[in-house]
């Protein structure tokens, strides 16, 4: 099967934020957003590898703005890097104010997923094609982040 391009896997997931997602002030809990980031990234990793995938790392998550109950949470994903068994997925989180159409940037996150076999051991994944200037830039930046993660890991 020919390798697909990173862009072919990109998806946007959307969720309307409901009262159960937030606090009495009408703001969405950060943990709810984190869960949706993990879920959206897992979909991309699964679509690429067609394997069971587990979250290996979830880089710093900083919230630039709050999300209001009643608005739409948009999770825009990109496959940034494919290793032997791991994949880095980027997720840009936006809030769309449904009454005005205004878009607010909420957070951006990078997650590494590892494909695993039925015993939970890392399993090799197919390569993807990084061809456009945007795909190549994201791939280069993801490789640099991967080096940093592995260096941190090896130094305890």
Strand segments, DSSP code E, in 61-136 are 72-82, 86-96, 103-116
| CA–CA separation, 79 and 41 (whole Å) | 9
* CB nearer to ligand COA: pick between 67 and 125: 125
* CB nearer to ligand COA: pick between 52 and 104: 52
* CB nearer to ligand COA: pick between 14 and 143: 143
73 binds ligand COA per the rule CB under 6 A: no
> Binding string to ligand COA for residues 80 to 119, with x set by CB under 6 A, is what?
---xxxx-------------------------x-x-x---
Burial of 86 (0-12, 13-18, 19+ CB in 10 A): buried
Q: Which stretch binds ligand COA (CB under 6 A): 15-23, 43-51, 52-60, 68-76?
A: 52-60
* CB nearer to ligand COA: pick between 5 and 57: 57
HEC states along 25-78?
CCEECHHHHHHHHHHHHHHHHHHHHCCEEEEEEECCCCCCCCCECCCEEEEEEE
Residue position matching structure tokens 């090896």: 154
Residue of 20, 119, 153, 155 interacting with ligand COA (CB under 6 A) = 153
34 binds ligand COA per the rule CB under 6 A: no
CB atoms within 10 A of CB 53: 25
Residue of 4, 15, 76, 149 interacting with ligand COA (CB under 6 A) = 149
Which residues contribute to the site for ligand COA (CB under 6 A)?
Answer: 54-57, 83-86, 112, 114, 116, 120, 122, 149-150, 153
């Amino acid at each position: 099967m020919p390798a697909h391009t990173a862009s072919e896997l990109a998806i946007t997931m959307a969720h309307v934020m409901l009262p159960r997602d937030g606090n009495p002030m009408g703001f969405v809990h950060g943990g709810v957003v984190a869960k949706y980031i993990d879920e959206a990234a897992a979909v991309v990793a699964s679509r690429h590898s067609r394997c069971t995938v587990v979250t290996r790392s979830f880089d710093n998550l900083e919230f630039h703005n709050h999300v209001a109950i009643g608005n739409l949470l948009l999770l825009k994903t990109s496959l940034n890097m494919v290793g032997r068994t791991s994949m880095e997925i980027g997720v840009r989180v936006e809030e769309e104010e449904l009454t005005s159409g205004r878009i607010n940037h909420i957070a951006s996150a990078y997650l590494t997923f590892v494909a695993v076999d039925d015993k939970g051991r890392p399993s090799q994944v197919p390569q993807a094609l990084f061809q456009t200037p945007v795909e190549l830039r994201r791939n280069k930046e993801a490789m640099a982040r991967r080096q940093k993660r592995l260096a941190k890991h090896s130094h305890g």
